[in-house]
Amino acid sequence: MKSKKNITILISFFICLFLYLYSKTLPIPVANTSLFQGNEFRIAHRCGKSILPENTLYACKEIYNNNLADILEMDVHLTKDSHLVVIHDATVDRTTNGKGKVSDFTYDEIRNLDAGYNFTIDTKTFPYRNKGIQILELEEFLKALPYANYYIELKVKDLLAAEILVKLIEKYTMQKKVFIGSVSDSVNE
């Protein structure tokens, strides 16, 4: 009896897994098409992280100007002096020539790092080093690409970050162009 129950659970698990994986290959239907044209869309995860230096204005401009995606997905953190900057990780180690937590840098300090430094496709060449690619404030993205659609994920559990994000969306009248995600339930409220 117990064996039959385990087999049923196992089969159910595999059916659910199959359906989940299969759904990932299908176009994503959009319930609210007022934000986007049509009922399907393409998302540039971290602004094209596999083809360009991730979460950079340079990458977002390339993706947007070449119509490679309908939505620019990006992540934001707060600097020590409360600037909302676009970067995925809590540290600058993986993507730049610097070391340390984003929250330990001032905006001027973090902006001086090379955000293209560690980007490579072949693990041998680093074509974006010393090209002036920076970690920038989210506001720079909204100013430079006002017609783009955004999915912005707050990576910090800090209500100040949410407040800054909301003020920026209102300042640039982006209420119908921005989706917001958060790692914290309290920020989502």
Q: How many helices (H) and strands (E) does the chain have?
A: 6, 5
pLDDT tens string 45-86: 899 899 999 999 999 999 999 999 999 999 999 999 999 999
Give SS3 for 102: helix
Backbone angles phi, psi at 61, to 5 degrees: -65, -45
| DSSP code, position 29 | P
pLDDT of residue 159: 87
Give the model's pLDDT for residue 40.
77
Known catalytic residues are: 45, 88
Enumerate the β-bridge partners of residue 182.
Answer: 154
Low-confidence ranges of the chain (pLDDT < 50): 17, 21-33, 188-189
CA 159 – CA 182 distance, rounded (Å):
11
Measured on CA atoms in the order 131, 136, 141, 144, is the torsion positive or negative? negative
